[in-house]
Structure 1
Amino acid sequence: MEKKKIVSIEDRIPKLKQARKKKANRRLIFYLSIFFLLISIIVYLQSPLSNVKTVAVTGNSFISDEAIVEKSNITNKTNIWTINETDIKKRLHKNPTIKSVEITKKLPRTVEIHLSEYDRVGYINVDGAFHPILGNGQVLTSIKEKSINGDAPLLMDFSDKANLRKMTSELNKLPDSILNMISEIHWKPTDEDKNKIMLYMNDGYLVDGTIRDFATKMKVYPSIVAQLNPDKKGIIHIGVGAYFESFDKETKEEGTNDETED
């Protein structure tokens, strides 16, 4: 039998010491790395390196980027880690055009503010200037335009603010494809119907209707027009039932399958 090699304790001790020394060195390096990392983080947080450098604003059309940034109170002296998103949202929501706000921090030094605004559903003419009207009924008196570009109808004679809000609420429910067909909306109240309105359409027709359930009833407009002779213009009534009345009084056609429920 082969004899086992016997290693004396004296020979093993240097190797054990060397192994323990390496293990201690690795542990020391690990703790030093953690220490310097923490120091670096503290220095970064306390230095201008963590201050906001860029504020990017998106989704705004009624308010300028500069006005949004100013309202947010974010400056190049603001530490990106001290930004209170809740406070910024509350300040921005005070503007009637803003529906929602999202704030995103992008390290190292960028803050993004994304806005969702209420849709423009119409215009109102005051002293020769056109003011946009939003879907929440807010009239932007601070914005004065010399003309309108056809992206929303002009609302006429809406002297009653309650009816104006009801009208804009209905317009806000319309798809853009139908909203863009409307040129003007005139409020024409009668003793029988305080909500009566008359619409002037871009395709030459008039629409006689009411504010109540207007959006629901107006959605049948394209299907009614599709059944009419394009050479004959007239009034499309969308009250209890939907029917067409020619301007020359020669034609009065019942709208097939176009009746709307009250």
Structure 2
Amino acid sequence: MKKEKNVVSIEERIPQLKQRRKRKVNRQLILYLTILFLLIGVVIYLQSPLSNVATIEVNGEEEVAEEEIRELSGITEDNNLWSVDRNSVREALMTHPEVKDATINRSFPATVTITVDERDRVAYVEEEESYAPILENGNILDKRVDHPGGDAPVLSGFTKEENLKEMAAEISELPPSISSLISEVHWVEDEEWDKVRLYMNDGYTVLASMRYFAEKMPSYPSIVAQLNPDARGVIHIGVGTYFEPSETESGQGENEENEKSEQSEQSEDTSELEENTSEE
């Protein structure tokens, strides 16, 4: 026997269709209402004091004061967090001579983080009874310090600003392990070469050409390693590299050689006397 098919009339299906459509409409309505309330909440948050800047964090500062960075940024607690123009703040911070770059980030609920990258101080120049820091770009800061911080060498005797900036640029190219060994740099007048005399923290003196300074100075530790620890003199670093003993040391060497020759002559005379005595 054939199975009878269940036939559902249209009248019976209409209530089911209406119910499905109603559930679909309800879901859509809930979704639209949720989005609407979220938008209303965002608008209320943006218009209320809740969205104002509550915390300003500053990172990366060393020489520049944190309060100075805050003032330069122009950001206050009256500013809306999301209305802070990060590019404008960055440009304002980079007007400071010691700030090389800056990054500004905003984070919920109300925090602005400023991270600065400062220019390195590569040297100090002596001016009267104080010292002016020189930055890696060659600019000399207006503010003075009574004593250099020991983080960079002191430049002395540079009468031309162009030579001063060139020397600062050469030092900035040195590895920190080398630049930290230099205590003072003195300009040396020379018609043929732009020379500088360096006084090193380990007690040695170096006479170098500014033209090859950044290229040749990294070899300094290997040169010193080959010298006698008691040797004193001048290390020449330029087109050629050699060690020139001081006059005192060379004089001592000559005296020692003379003493040795005199002792050898005395010993020869003594041996001759002994031979003559034995023959008699």
TM-score w.r.t. the length of structure 2 is 0.84
Match of 1:175 in 2: 175
| 1:101 equivalent in alignment to 2:102 | yes
Q: Residue 2 and residue 191 in structure 1: after superposition, are their counterparts in 2 closer, same or farther (change >3 A)?
A: closer
Q: Which amino acid aligns with 1:228?
A: L
| 1:157 equivalent in alignment to 2:157 | yes
Moved more, 240-249 or 124-133: 124-133
- SS of 1:212's partner is helix
What CA RMSD, in Å, does the superposition of the two structures yield over aligned residues?
A: 1.6
Match of 1:215 in 2: 214
Match of 1:74 in 2: 75
Query: Conserved in 1, the CA contact under 8 Å of 2:121 and 2:133?
Result: yes
Once the two structures are TM-superposed, the CA of residue 118 in structure 1 deviates from its matched residue by 1.2
Q: Distance between the aligned counterparts of 1:103 and 1:41, measured in 2?
A: 23
| 1:15 equivalent in alignment to 2:5 | no
Q: Distance between the aligned counterparts of 1:159 and 1:112, measured in 2?
A: 43
What count of residue pairs does the alignment treat as equivalent?
A: 249
**1:100-119 equivalent positions in 2, closer than 5 A:** 100-119=101-120
Match of 2:26 in 1: 25
Calculate percent identity across the aligned residue pairs.
Answer: 48
Q: Distance between the aligned counterparts of 2:9 and 2:119, measured in 1?
A: 87
Q: Distance between the aligned counterparts of 2:4 and 2:195, measured in 1?
A: 115
Whichever structure has more helix as a proportion of its residues is 2
Q: Which amino acid aligns with 1:230?
A: P
Match of 2:227 in 1: 228
Once the two structures are TM-superposed, the CA of residue 191 in structure 1 deviates from its matched residue by 2.9
| 1:53 equivalent in alignment to 2:54 | yes
Query: Conserved in 1, the CA contact under 8 Å of 2:213 and 2:238?
Result: no
Once the two structures are TM-superposed, the CA of residue 182 in structure 1 deviates from its matched residue by 0.5
Once the two structures are TM-superposed, the CA of residue 173 in structure 1 deviates from its matched residue by 0.2
Once the two structures are TM-superposed, the CA of residue 127 in structure 1 deviates from its matched residue by 3.0
| 1:40 equivalent in alignment to 2:37 | no
Q: Distance between the aligned counterparts of 2:102 and 2:82, measured in 1?
A: 19
Q: Distance between the aligned counterparts of 1:87 and 1:148, measured in 2?
A: 34
Instruction: Give unpaired runs (5+ residues) of structure 1.
Output: 252-262
Q: Distance between the aligned counterparts of 2:85 and 2:142, measured in 1?
A: 31
Match of 2:236 in 1: 237
Once the two structures are TM-superposed, the CA of residue 143 in structure 1 deviates from its matched residue by 4.0
- SS of 2:198's partner is strand
CA offsets per residue over residues 81-106 of structure 1, 9 Å max, x none? Answer: 22222222221111111111111122
Q: Distance between the aligned counterparts of 2:216 and 2:10, measured in 1?
A: 100
> Which contiguous aligned blocks of 4+ residues in structure 1 show a shift greater than 6 angstroms?
none
- SS of 2:211's partner is coil
CA offsets per residue over residues 21-43 of structure 1, 9 Å max, x none? Answer: 11111111111111111111111
Q: Distance between the aligned counterparts of 1:43 and 1:207, measured in 2?
A: 69
Instruction: Give unpaired runs (5+ residues) of structure 2.
Output: 254-280
CA offsets per residue over residues 153-194 of structure 1, 9 Å max, x none? Answer: 11111222111100000000000101010110001222333x
- SS of 2:142's partner is coil
Q: Distance between the aligned counterparts of 2:250 and 2:113, measured in 1?
A: 60
Q: Which amino acid aligns with 2:96?
A: N
CA offsets per residue over residues 197-254 of structure 1, 9 Å max, x none? Answer: 1000111110001221211111111111111111112100012200001112368xxx
Once the two structures are TM-superposed, the CA of residue 151 in structure 1 deviates from its matched residue by 1.8
Q: Which amino acid aligns with 1:166?
A: E
- SS of 1:198's partner is strand
Query: Conserved in 1, the CA contact under 8 Å of 2:212 and 2:238?
Result: no
**1:118-133 equivalent positions in 2, closer than 5 A:** 118-133=119-134
Q: Which amino acid aligns with 1:154?
A: V
